[in-house]
Amino acid sequence: MTETMTPPTRPSIGLALGSLLRADATAALRSRQTLILNLIVPLLYIVILGINDAKKHFATPGAVVGLGITLGLMAAGMLGYSMLVAADRTAGVFQRLRVTPTPTWLIMASRIIVQLVSAVVMSVVAIVAGSIVFGTTFPWPQILGAMGVSLLGAVMFLCLGQAIVALARSQGTVNAIGRLLYILLLLVGLLGASNLLGETLQHIAVWTPVGALAGLYDVVFGAAWSGDSTIAVIAVPVYAVVLGVVGVRFFRWDPR
């Protein structure tokens, strides 16, 4: 009489996702870098401009809050997310996870969900800080609209971070490219928003990820619709789709 071997059963999607979410959320909460990038960056920007009377440079306090959230999302996606994925790939975390019955798409989905939740929390904190610094109250429709824009912006910058870690194999290269792009986009975003580059370069800045997302926040927080707003509505989803395709197509689970 022979015994039949029963193949191991794959755990349910809900059980696997729950386990991954707990692990990824715990790692994010324990990461000092995540705290700095997700909270300190936008808060510092909002507070510093508030102290220096930002109304001289921006049309509304909402524009300052929107650009602050944009910079926080950019830091979290391009630096925090990409460096975390690169570090785990170098340490062999992904290789160990891939030998488990967990679907590979679920491994990345868990990390992205944690990042999106962090983006919403960061946006709420930034809006509260902006209300305190500028002594104003944002209506609920603007707050809810900002949450939607934050999710869209988080997806765009996460796709950018995924593209960086897909095209650069070594952890050091990912860190270097992420920091360089962050500085370049930061300068373009800040200078373009403050109109220090002139009208021509300001319009060019609108097409960048920073300028486009900041333009969406401007509309959400009450600015009049303009041609730049139309560009922003088109540019942000296009960036997300193109960068997402690159990030998925060229990503490798091992550093070799």
pLDDT band at 100 (very low <50, low <70, confident <90, very high): confident
Q: Is the pLDDT of residue 73 over 80?
A: yes
Length of the chain as a residue count:
256
Identity of residue 165: V
Give 131-145 pLDDT, tens digit per residue: 888 888 899 999 999
Residue partners of 11: CB distance under 8 A and separation at least 6: 101, 102
pLDDT-derived band at 155, boundaries 50, 70, 90:
very high
> In what helix (H) or strand (E) does residue 15 lie, and over which residues does it extend?
helix 13-30
For residue 116, tell me if it sits in a domain: yes
The mean pLDDT value of the chain amounts to 82
pLDDT value of residue 1: 43
Q: What is the mean pLDDT of residues 7-32?
A: 71
- Asked whether residue 254 is assigned to any structural domain, the reply reads no
Task: Please report whether residue 255 resides in a domain.
Answer: no
E-assigned strand segments in 58-205: none
Work out the percent of the chain whose per-residue pLDDT is above 70: 82
Q: Is 7 inside any structural domain?
A: no
Judging by beta carbons within 10 Å of its beta carbon (0-12, 13-18, 19+), is residue 86 exposed, middle or buried?
A: buried
Query: Is 12 inside any structural domain?
Result: no
- 126 in any annotated domain: yes
Q: Is residue 10 part of a domain?
A: no
Determine the structural domain holding residue 148 and report its residue range.
17-249
Number of domains comprising the chain: 1
* DSSP labels, 27-57: HHHH-HHHHIIIIIHHHHHHHHHHHTTGGGT
pLDDT in tens, 234-253: 999 999 999 999 998 988 88
Contacts of 238 (CB under 8 A, 6+ apart): none
Cβ pair 217, 106 in contact under 8 A: no
Amino acid identity, position 56: K
Mean pLDDT of the region 222-237: 85
The answer to whether residue 5 sits within a structural domain is: no
Spatial separation of the C-alpha atoms in residues 100 and 6, rounded to whole Å: 17
